[in-house]
Structure 1
Amino acid sequence: MRLDPLPRLTSTLGKALGNPRLLVFAIVMSKLCLDRVYKFALAVNPTPALDNGGNQTIDILEYYHPSTASDVYRHLDSYNLKQRLAYQSLAIFDSGFVVFRAIPIAFMICWAFKTAPAKYQPGIWVVLVNVFADLLENILITILLKSYPERLPFIAQALTWVIDIKWKSFWGMLGLLFVAMLAGIYFSFHAMLANSVLLEKDRKDKQRARQHVNQVMDRAGSSRDGA
């Protein structure tokens, strides 16, 4: 029984994502996309809620965890044309942010568990589920915005389910990342300890071999002196 249902995919992506240039590019692009998301979020909701530090939050539909199609349209009805267009642009940059953000997260998870026993390797399927759900969420939101004021209750209801999956997989991904950090420390220390034991054993073997050679040479010297 393995925790990772897609071990080959995890192995392939783990190797591909280990490229330093790709990681740096992904981090830079995720920052740029996130900046655009905040910009368009302010256009969607000019008076967003503030966090405890008084900073602007992304105060839009998906952060209210709608549970019904009526909840979705209650938010859409509150947006004017300019806000709906801004939301569509936000969805594009949010999709980019989601993809680029997943690259370093997936790499860190793969790296942390690379020396763990196969049955304990969780893989990156939670990250992939989160990416898929987030992208699907943006697609459904865009469809609803483009078709507004026409009502598409089934798509709106499906959106609530996708948002729920997105948030659950998001928190699962963060939890897995936290565990991965601890696992990385543990398995790295375990590997270092195992290597130190092997090095010590190798040192003792070499020392015994050297002593054996010295003893042979001493006996040979004694034999020549006796002769």
Structure 2
Amino acid sequence: MRVAIFARPPIPGRCKTRLARAIGDVRAAELHAAFVIDTLEHVRAREGLRPELHVTELHPFFAQLRARFELPPPIVQVEGDLGARMRHALDREPGPACVIGTDAPTLPHALIGRASIALGDDDFVCTPTSDGGYALIGSAGRAPSTFLEDPRIRWSSRHALADTMRAAPSRIALTAPWYDVDEPADLALLGTHLTLDPRAAPATAALLLGQRRRTSTF
């Protein structure tokens, strides 16, 4: 299954802006870069998943990732809102595909695998998040994903998943939920998770836990 990973370049002031209000632009950009790396690692860890980078703009960071992970060339996202960009990513080639962002660096590859299995029976699948959105949306490729361009879907809100399910032409299967990291409170949850299991997102853990250790020495 193709896995389109939506990503911005780690430019301070232009990524993880809600987190940046609490931790600063530079630190937020460093975390974002770690999130992208961990997301790629998770996708590559499961046989049968083919990662693609779908980026907001070309940047040397993505060229480095392409070489490191032996990826195809990054794909620049089309113009439009999130729904239009996801629809294009899902429907650009025949066959099953899913879209994930980089806001859930601990999203297990097993959960992505379960989404892939669900597409054997259902046309679409989502992984819900606690804020009313979703960390993953997948299509079996049997029906177009044009419903994602429905103007009634309120993106980046607590209504996003419910609106998407109402707009879909058929039932959307749901995997177990997961959490994403958008707000400072989410960062606290992530830190607790990685303290217990740093392997859940190694690059992010190295950054977060390393900072904690340095701070504790002062």
TM-score (norm. length: structure 1): 0.29
TM-score (norm. length: structure 2): 0.30
Point out the structure with the larger strand share: 2
Larger Rg belongs to: 1
